[in-house]
């Protein structure tokens, strides 16, 4: 089973609202992760404009030598993306599941302020469970 | 409510039968509504105690109505008059109608005679709510505490009802305990009745 390096959630204006890294490789400090988030936000927007296909929704998968980056954008413009080992499967399903957790444990929480960094205990607990390897495999079925 | 569209339309609300069937509302819809209610009340208060009180008051109105409805529908216009009767009514009948299940446990307080506790591993209203650290011991279960107080008060058992988080051993999340402290007169009446 291939590994997930890190998970990001960015709001519709490109601000990082959630970052979590798993495992040792690809670890970044706060500044770097903020930079990656806003960089990805801009690249995503540019890709939409440059795409030869009309109605393009932006980059969904970026494949590099050392990592894969899977991105999922919700209807409201919140982007979820995960950096993982090349060739990792079921990442789309995982991202959709993270979106589901976000709608449940973040948006339904009266103490969460929209577009602000996510600090919700229940979201963390459920996310950790979801990212556990066997859980990823289970979701892919 | 699910299935409302299929119901026959009655001109007068009093002609409508009090349906006993399963009438469930969407959990998401409830969660969003409840969240908005908490957010609104948060804008109206300066401190957490006041927020708790406002949620409790909102619940009280629900409780008073639930008691009325259930006594009429399930108990043939009779209500419980004894302490244990009303407690088990809250613990099972009321809980089932509101949350679709019986409460996890009903216990008597060990330190005081007049205290009873209804505990729930995961209270429905708290399902999606994480309390920020700076809010301390605040619990949105105050709403449910209000419902319980409404039912008890309506049935003639005035009590002070509060909601607390109680950490559980070996569990990541604390459970919610609804603490019921009956007024003195209730216990005096209870001993008189024998």
- Is the residue at B4 inside a domain? no
Decide if A125 and B172 are in contact by the 8 Å CB cutoff. Answer: yes
Residue B153: Cβ within 10 Å count: 17
Closest residue in B to A107 (Cα–Cα): B32
Q: Note the pLDDT of residue A2.
A: 62
With beta carbons less than 8 A apart as the criterion, state whether A9 and A78 touch: yes
Report the C-alpha dihedral over residues A31, A35, A37, A42, rounded to 10 degrees.
Answer: 160
- Residue B81 is encoded by which pair of tokens? 């008059």
- Is the residue at B162 inside a domain? yes
pLDDT band at B76 (very low <50, low <70, confident <90, very high): confident
| Predicted-complex ipTM score | 0.84
A113 and chain B: CB distance < 8 Å anywhere?
A: no
Mutate to test the interface with B, among A111, A117, A124 (most CBs of B within 10 A): A111
Decide if A110 and B32 are in contact by the 8 Å CB cutoff. Answer: no
Q: Note the pLDDT of residue B37.
A: 96
DSSP A30: H
The CATH number assigned to the domain holding A62 equals 3.30.450.70
Mutate to test the interface with B, among A101, A107, A108 (most CBs of B within 10 A): A108
> What is the extent of the structural domain holding B176?
25-193
The angle, 0 to 180 degrees and rounded to 10, between the axes of the packed helices A133-140 and A91-101 is 100
Choice between B32 and B9, residue whose per-residue pLDDT is larger: B32
Q: Over the stretch A67-113, which tens digit does the pLDDT of each residue have?
A: 999 999 999 999 999 999 898 888 999 999 999 999 999 999 999 99
Side-chain-side CA neighbours of A95 within 13 Å: the count stands at 25
> What is the extent of the structural domain holding A24?
4-140
Domain tally for chain A? 1
The CATH number assigned to the domain holding B105 equals 3.30.1380.20
Interface A–B counts its CB contacts (< 8 A) at 42
Q: Which of B128, B172, B173 sits opposite A109 (nearest CB)?
A: B128
Domain tally for chain B? 1
Decide if B35 and A109 are in contact by the 8 Å CB cutoff. Answer: yes
- Is the residue at B19 inside a domain? no
């Amino acid at each position: 089973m291939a590994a997930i390096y890190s998970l990001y959630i960015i709001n519709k204006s490109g601000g990082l609202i959630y970052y979590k890294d798993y495992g040792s490789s690809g670890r970044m400090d706060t500044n770097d992760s903020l930079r990656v988030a806003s960089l990805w936000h801009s690249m995503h927007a540019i890709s939409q404009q440059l795409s030869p296909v009309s109605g393009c929704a932006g980059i969904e998968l970026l494949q590099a030598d050392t990592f894969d980056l899977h991105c999922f954008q919700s209807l409201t413009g919140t982007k979820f993306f995960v950096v993982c080992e090349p060739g990792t499967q079921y990442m789309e399903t995982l991202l959709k599941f993270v979106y589901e957790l976000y709608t449940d444990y973040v948006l339904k929480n009266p103490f969460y302020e929209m577009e602000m960094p996510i600090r919700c205990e229940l979201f963390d607990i459920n996310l950790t469970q979801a990212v556990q390897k066997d859980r990823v495999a289970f979701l892919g079925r | 409510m699910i299935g409302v569209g299929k119901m026959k339309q009655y001109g007068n609300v009093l002609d409508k039968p009090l349906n006993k069937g399963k009438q469930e509302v969407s959990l998401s819809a409830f969660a969003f509504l409840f969240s908005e209610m908490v957010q609104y009340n948060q804008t109206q208060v300066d401190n957490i105690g006041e927020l708790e009180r406002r949620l409790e008051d909102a619940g009280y109105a629900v409780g008073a109505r639930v008691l009325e409805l259930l006594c009429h529908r399930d108990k043939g216009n009779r209500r419980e008059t004894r302490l244990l009767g009303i407690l088990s009514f809250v613990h099972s009948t009321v809980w089932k109608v509101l949350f679709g299940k019986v409460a996890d446990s009903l216990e008597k307080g060990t330190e005081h005679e007049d205290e009873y506790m209804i505990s729930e591993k995961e209270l429905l209203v708290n399902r999606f709510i994480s309390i920020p650290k700076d809010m301390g011991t605040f619990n949105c279960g105050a709403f449910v505490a209000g419902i319980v107080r409404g039912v008890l008060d309506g049935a003639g058992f005035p009590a002070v009802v509060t909601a607390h988080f109680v950490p559980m051993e070996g569990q990541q999340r604390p459970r919610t305990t609804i603490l019921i402290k009956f007024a003195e007169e209730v216990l005096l009446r209870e001993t008189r009745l024998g």
